[in-house]
């Protein structure tokens, strides 16, 4: 009996030791499994060498190209007098200046030649012949540059007010100021003088003018469109057309549709001196007239108010987004930003 008791205690002690060993082994095994699971879900250490991390290239979306189109710009007569007295910068108010400078390019219709000839319209009788003959001081090129008015249409009914000599002088001053011009000024205009192309990143934008005041103006514009279309991504047609102070008629509407059918992506017109209709045709935008931008006509509210059109161009899809701004002209020769439309209009 006494011999069995020690053996019994030995068996109990051995059982306890075996249980402890099994429990310890089980805990170690579970800890190992949890460690492996944590490792699978753990983020890479920030202290790993940089070249061991996956490389994710950052691609920036190209910014849209912003164009602004304005109406008629006339820098003689009363406007010239005010500019000589107060400086050309006085012709545009601060809010309007900021809007223009925020664009990549601003397109205007320059309603006359740039020459050193003295003005004949300053102090002329209203309605007299001289009252409608314009020339602009060469200093205006500095004004155009300073306010981002860097794309100039010359295809209008006043560009030859001082003949071919005045036109050649205009080309020279614009080129010296690094300003882009285009427009059908008559039979002597070459292909390169009638159209313009600007490049902005991968975008190529073409400008064509239809001048109804020269022979075969529409046919020439259609031909220019056909030649330019394969060279560019988008084409804006900037016509000088219609009748003064009245809205577009059926003839103008038909001509606009022909230009769209021939490849124009948008049409933005000038000459009537008042803002007229807007139309979407074949998913293309047509503004028949933006009215005046800088001009000394004050005889009725319609001629004292102009529109400028801001166009955002998506560089990949080439989609156009339009926003309209209104400008007011006052008798001190100043053009001021009046109001902006609330809606962005897209084609």
Once rounded to an integer, what is the mean pLDDT over residues 302-309?
A: 97
Is the domain of 158 the same as that of 301? yes
Is the domain of 131 the same as that of 96? yes
* Position 55 in a domain: no
Mean pLDDT of the chain: 88
Using 50, 70 and 90 to split pLDDT, how confident is the model at 56? low
* Position 280 in a domain: yes
E strand or H helix that includes residue 268: strand 266-268
Is the domain of 317 the same as that of 205? yes
Q: Does 10 have pLDDT greater than 50? A: yes
Residue 291 is part of a domain; what is its CATH number?
A: 3.60.21.10
Q: Does 196 have pLDDT greater than 80? A: yes
Q: Which two tokens mark 174?
A: 């614009």
Q: What separation in angstroms does the CA of 196 have from each of 71, 103, 184, 209? A: 18, 18, 11, 10
Least confident of 10-14, 41-45, 64-68, 323-327: 41-45
* Position 247 in a domain: yes
Looking at residue 61, its pLDDT comes to: 76
* Position 56 in a domain: no
For residue 52, give the 3-state DSSP assignment.
helix
Give residue for tokens 């006509």.
Answer: 297
* Position 74 in a domain: yes
Burial of 193 (0-12, 13-18, 19+ CB in 10 A): middle
Is the CB of residue 102 less than 8 Å from the CB of residue 145?
no
More confident residue, 21 or 300: 300
Q: What separation in angstroms does the CA of 191 have from each of 66, 112, 198, 207, 220? A: 26, 21, 15, 12, 10
Is the domain of 15 the same as that of 73? no
Looking at residue 51, its pLDDT comes to: 43
DSSP state of 241: -
Is the domain of 3 the same as that of 71? no
Cα dihedral 330→86→103→199 (10° resolution): 120
* Position 53 in a domain: no
- Tell me which residue range forms the domain holding 11: 1-38
Is the domain of 183 the same as that of 293? yes
Is the domain of 22 the same as that of 150? no
Give the number of C-alpha atoms closer than 13 A to the C-alpha of residue 229, restricted to the C-beta side: 14
The domain total for the chain is: 2
* Position 115 in a domain: yes
Best CA proximity match to 83, nearest among 296, 323, 312: 296
Express each pLDDT in 204-235 by its tens digit: 999 999 999 999 999 999 999 999 999 999 99
Is the CB of residue 98 less than 8 Å from the CB of residue 68?
no
């Amino acid at each position: 009996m006494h011999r069995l008791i020690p053996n019994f205690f030995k068996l109990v002690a051995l059982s306890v030791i075996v249980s402890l060993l099994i429990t310890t082994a089980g805990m170690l095994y579970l800890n190992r499994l949890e460690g492996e699971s944590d490792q699978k879900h753990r983020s890479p250490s920030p202290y790993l060498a940089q070249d061991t991390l996956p490389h994710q290239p950052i691609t920036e979306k190209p910014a849209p190209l912003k164009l602004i189109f304005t109406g008629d710009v006339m820098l003689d007569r009363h406007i010239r007098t005010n500019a000589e007295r107060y400086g050309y910068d006085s012709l545009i108010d601060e809010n309007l200046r900021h809007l223009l400078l925020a664009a990549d390019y601003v397109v205007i219709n320059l309603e006359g030649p740039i020459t050193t000839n003295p003005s004949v319209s300053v102090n002329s009788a209203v309605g007299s012949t001289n009252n409608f003959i314009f020339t602009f001081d060469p200093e205006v090129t500095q004004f155009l540059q300073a306010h981002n008015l860097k794309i100039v249409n010359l295809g209008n009914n006043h560009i030859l007010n001082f003949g071919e000599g005045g036109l050649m002088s205009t080309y020279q001053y614009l080129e010296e100021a690094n300003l882009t011009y285009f427009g059908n000024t008559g039979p002597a205009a070459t292909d390169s003088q009638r159209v313009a192309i600007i490049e902005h990143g991968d975008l190529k934008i073409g400008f064509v003018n239809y001048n109804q005041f020269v022979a075969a103006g529409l046919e020439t514009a259609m031909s220019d469109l056909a030649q330019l279309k394969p060279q560019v991504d988008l084409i804006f047609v900037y016509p000088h057309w219609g009748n003064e102070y009245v809205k577009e008629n059926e003839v103008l509407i038909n001509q606009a549709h022909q230009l769209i059918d021939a490849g124009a992506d948008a049409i933005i017109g000038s000459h009537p001196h008042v803002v007229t209709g807007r139309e979407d045709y074949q998913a293309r935008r047509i503004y028949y007239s933006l009215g005046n931008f800088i001009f000394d006509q004050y005889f009725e509210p319609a001629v004292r108010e102009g529109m400028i059109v801001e166009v955002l161009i998506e560089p990949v899809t080439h989609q156009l987004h339009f926003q309209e701004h209104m400008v007011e002209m006052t008798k001190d020769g100043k053009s001021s930003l009046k109001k902006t439309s609330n809606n962005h209009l897209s084609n």
